[in-house]
Amino acid sequence: EDQVTQSPEALRLQEGESSSLNCSYTVSGLRGLFWYRQDPGKGPEFLFTLYSAGEEKEKERLKATLTKKESFLHITAPKPEDSATYLCAVHNAGNMLTFGGGTRLMVKP
């Protein structure tokens, strides 16, 4: 059974304090690893797709990286508007998406 574990569960940062979120996974035939951002009561918003180990993607203050067992979402100089829950998900060969429990990020001004 596919498993996705995200850590930490919650993270408090000061504005400008860079950090990383971790997503560890076990999956039968990885077909893609996805990062989403979710604001309270809203639908997840797509951020990145990573397909193979060594791949990196960047968008504004966010950078996602992938190894064979985990992915990191690096947040550089975060701002309060980056506060949200960040979800990681893996797509397996059976075309099913399994989500992790998320990391709740709070950035204080």
Partner 1 sequence: DSGVTQTPKHLITATGQRVTLRCSPRSGDLSVYWYQQSLDQGLQFLIQYYNGEERAKGNILERFSAQQFPDLHSELNLSSLELGDSALYFCASSGVGIYNEQFFGPGTRLTVL
104 touches partner 1 (CB under 8 A): no
95 touches partner 1 (CB under 8 A): yes
53 touches partner 1 (CB under 8 A): no
In contact, 32 and 51? CB cutoff 8 Å: yes
- Beta strand pairing call for 103-108 and 10-14: parallel
> Coil, strand, or helix at residue 78?
coil
- Return the range that interacts with partner 1 (CB under 8 A); candidates 13-21, 53-61, 65-73, 87-95: 87-95
41 touches partner 1 (CB under 8 A): yes
In contact, 94 and 71? CB cutoff 8 Å: no
Cβ at position 47, least distance to partner 1 in Å: 9
> Which helix (H) or strand (E) is 33 found in, with range?
strand 32-38
Residues at the interface with partner 1 (CB under 8 A): 31-32, 34, 36, 41-46, 49, 87, 89, 91, 94-102
